[in-house]
Copies of this chain bind each other. A is one copy, B any other.
Amino acid sequence: MPKPGPGLRLIDVAQRAGVSLATASRALSGRDGVSEEVANRVRQVSLEMGYVANPYARTLAGGASSTVGLVVHQVDDPYFSEIAGGVIQLAGEQSLLVQICHSGRDPEQELRQIRSLIAQRVGIIIVAGSGYSDPAVESEARAVLSGYERNGGRLAVIGRHSLSADAVLPDNEAGGRALGEHLIGLGHRHIAVVAGTAALTTVTDRMTGVVAALRAHGLDPEAMPVLHTDFIREGGRVATEAVLRDHPSTTAIIALNDAMAMGVLSSLREHDIAVPARMSVVGFDDVSVAADLAPSLTTVRLPMYEMGRMALDLALKPRAARPRRRRTGHQLIVRDSTGPAPTPH
């Protein structure tokens, strides 16, 4: 393992500016107790010499850790990469560094990563990804994180209301309802839901919305096929096979995220089932490629990039007494993957 290179030390700057180490430190960190004149001189010299404080020393000496830890399921999933993009962008503007790690959709690994970030003494932690309804792991995570906050750590979560922390929450339920309404409005009566992992709160919330839409229109949610597979593209493919096999009367498929919707489309294409002529398909998230799919995907747009920024912004602001929740808007984007229900001839 390489060592970090040597570098200019504060004492070098101090000597060059003709002041003591302590004064230089105060001048650069903006503490008062230094005359304007001296402070300016020190800042000037430091700039000229290209001095940058050693963050290890600074943090060790009780200073601030300026790195933010970001936990995502997987950064090469467009949903998370857009969130990460937002976080990194805002962090860059604030001269913060972002440490990113994968939870790999595994609650235990997520907990492990969080623990590791805490051990690394990062000052801010952002957890993205829905909560797991695994009570044991979830309550352990809650304990670890609240301990972290008690010690002065800052925390924000994205899309997870199961933690009592500052949170950015997309309105999954309303989004699910909008999708349901849209399809029902097009005359669909046999709707299947490709739901993904049952244990994710994101999934259950979106489901709740879909169910509410059915109820509101006098349809029986109990009769609706709900397929629980992986919350990724492949899960959509597997679920589609099941739908075609076991529920042939289905005329519309709701995938609870775009990744699965892509799997659904790909599977339908293989079966030569025309979308939307014979089958309507909707997704959720509106990842950036949704508009370029074949056919372009009707979906609910979530402002992922903005959500990333909001989460970091929330964590940066002084903490409030009670956890703050910022709800994001959502927007039904109708494209070419949905159409009127085919009339049974």
Give the B-binding residues of A (Cβ under 8 A): 1-7, 52, 54-57, 59-60, 62-67, 74-76, 78, 81-82, 84-85, 88-89, 92, 95, 97-102, 113, 116, 118-124, 147-148, 150-154, 262, 265-266, 288-289, 291-296, 305
**A2-B65, A84-B100 given; 5 more Cβ-contact pairs under 8 Å:** A3-B63, A5-B118, A98-B99, A99-B99, A266-B291
- Chain B residue nearest to A76 (CB atoms) is B85
Q: Is the CB of A2 within 8 A of B154?
A: yes
Which residues of B are found within 8 Å of A82, using beta-carbon distances?
76
8 contacts across the A-B interface (CB closer than 8 A): A5-B147, A52-B119, A56-B59, A74-B85, A76-B78, A78-B81, A98-B101, A266-B292
Q: Is the CB of A123 within 8 A of B3?
A: yes
Copies of this chain, whole number: 2
Q: How far is the CA of A8 from the CA of B222 in the complex (A)?
A: 52
Q: Is the CB of A1 within 8 A of B88?
A: no
Which residues of B are found within 8 Å of A89, using beta-carbon distances?
102
Nearest CB of chain B from residue A78's CB, rounded to whole Å: 7
Q: Is the CB of A100 within 8 A of B102?
A: no
- Chain B residue nearest to A80 (CB atoms) is B81
